Amino acid sequence: MPLFDCVLFLAGCCWSHADVTDDHLFLHFAVGTHPIVEGAWRDTTGRAIARLHGSPAVTSQGTSEALAFRGNERLLIEPVSTPLPTLTRTLSLSAWVRLSSVDQDGEIIGQTQKTGVEPTGWMLGHAGDRWCFSLSAEGSEGGRDRFIKVQSPSPINPGKWYYLVATYDGQAARLYENGKLVSESHDTSGAIIPAPGAELVVGGRPEGDEKEFLQGDLLEVKGWDRVLAPAEIMLVALRNKNLTESAPAAEQELAFLVEPILQFGTKESMTFVCETSRPTKVEVHFGKNALLGKKVASEQPSLITELTASGLEVHSEYFYRVDAIDETGKKISSKLRSFQTAPPADKPWAFGVIGDTQRNPEITRRCAEGIYSCRPNFMLHCGDVVDDGFAKNQWLKDLFEPCKELMAYVPTFPVIGNHEKDSHWYYDYFALPKPEHRYTFEYGNAEFFMVDTNRPLKPGSEQYQWLEKELSESKATWKIAAHHHPCFSSDNDDYGDHLRGRPLGGFGFGHPNAKHAIKLYEKYGVDVVFNGHIHVYERTWPIFEMAVNLKKGIRYITSGGGGGGLEEPSPQRTWFSLHVNKAYHYCHVAVFDRTMVFKAYDVDGRLFDSFEMTKADDR
pLDDT at 423: 86
Query: How far is 304 from 282, CA to CA, in rounded Å?
Result: 10
86 CB-contact burial (10 Å; exposed 0-12 / middle 13-18 / buried 19+): middle
Which of 371, 449, 377 has the alpha carbon at shortest distance from 411? 377
Distant-in-sequence, close-in-space partners of 43: CB < 8 Å, separation ≥ 6: 27, 28, 29, 34, 49, 50, 77
Count of alpha carbons within 13 angstroms of residue 92, beta-carbon side: 18
> Do residues 262 and 120 both lie within one domain?
no
Query: How far is 162 from 538, CA to CA, in rounded Å?
Result: 44
Which of 577, 521, 581 has the alpha carbon at shortest distance from 548? 577
Q: Domain boundary residue among 321, 340, 359? A: 340
pLDDT at 619: 46
Length of the chain: 619
> Do residues 194 and 306 both lie within one domain?
no
Number of folded domains that form the chain: 3
Query: Which of left, alpha, beta for 498 (phi over 0: left; psi -120 to 50: alpha)?
Result: alpha
Q: Domain boundary residue among 232, 248, 264? A: 248
Contact 516, 468 (CB under 8 A): no
Amino acid identity, position 95 = A
Stretch (H or E) spanning 177? strand 173-177
Domain membership of residue 619 (yes or no) is no
pLDDT at 493: 78
Chain centre distance of CA 545: 35
Q: Is the peptide bond before 2 cis (omega within 30 degrees of 0)?
A: no
> Do residues 536 and 596 both lie within one domain?
yes
**E-assigned strands of 54-129?**
57-59, 66-68, 74-79, 91-99, 106-114, 119-127
Distant-in-sequence, close-in-space partners of 312: CB < 8 Å, separation ≥ 6: 267, 268, 269, 270, 318, 341
Query: How far is 381 from 532, CA to CA, in rounded Å?
Result: 8
Chain centre distance of CA 356: 14
pLDDT at 5: 33
What does 539-584 look like in DSSP terms, one character per residue?
Answer: EEPPEETTEE-TTTPBEEEEE--SSSPP-PBPSS--TTEEEEE-S-
Contact 482, 530 (CB under 8 A): yes
> Do residues 188 and 331 both lie within one domain?
no
CATH number at residue 529: 3.60.21.10
Q: What is the pTM for the complete model shown?
A: 0.72
Distant-in-sequence, close-in-space partners of 565: CB < 8 Å, separation ≥ 6: 535
Distant-in-sequence, close-in-space partners of 511: CB < 8 Å, separation ≥ 6: 453, 485, 486, 487, 489, 494, 495, 533
Q: Domain boundary residue among 197, 232, 248? A: 248
pLDDT at 496: 61
**DSSP label at residue 13:** -
Query: How far is 541 from 574, CA to CA, in rounded Å?
Result: 11
Task: Give the domain range for residue 507.
Answer: 349-614
pLDDT at 6: 36
Contact 176, 233 (CB under 8 A): yes
> Do residues 603 and 473 both lie within one domain?
yes
> Do residues 182 and 290 both lie within one domain?
no
Residue 23's CB is within 10 A of a number of other CB atoms, namely 10
pLDDT at 53: 57
3-state helix, strand, coil in the chain (%, to 5): 10, 40, 50
> Do residues 334 and 358 both lie within one domain?
no
Letter string b/e over residues 447-481, b meaning 16 or more CB atoms within 10 A of that residue's CB: bbbbbbbbeebeeeeebbebbbebbeebebbbbbb
> Do residues 327 and 358 both lie within one domain?
no
> Do residues 158 and 284 both lie within one domain?
no
Query: How far is 609 from 614, CA to CA, in rounded Å?
Result: 17
pLDDT digits 0-9 by tens, 571-583: 888 899 999 999 9
Distant-in-sequence, close-in-space partners of 513: CB < 8 Å, separation ≥ 6: 453, 456, 457, 458, 485
**Taken in order 236, 239, 244, 250, is the CA torsion positive or negative?**
negative
Q: What are the CA-CA distances from residue 184 to residues 132, 188, 203, 238, 496 (Å)?
A: 11, 11, 23, 22, 48
Domain membership of residue 413 (yes or no) is yes
Domain membership of residue 181 (yes or no) is yes
pLDDT at 107: 84
Distant-in-sequence, close-in-space partners of 435: CB < 8 Å, separation ≥ 6: 35
Q: Is 30 helix (H, G, I), strand (E, B) or coil?
A: strand
> Do residues 326 and 383 both lie within one domain?
no
> Do residues 99 and 223 both lie within one domain?
yes
CATH number at residue 62: 2.60.120.200
pLDDT digits 0-9 by tens, 28-47: 877 666 666 777 777 777 77
Domain membership of residue 1 (yes or no) is no
Domain membership of residue 307 (yes or no) is yes
Domain membership of residue 3 (yes or no) is no
CATH number at residue 272: 2.60.40.10
Residues (pLDDT < 70) of the chain are 1-22, 31-36, 51-83, 115-117, 140-145, 205-212, 249-251, 496-508, 618-619
> Do residues 322 and 460 both lie within one domain?
no
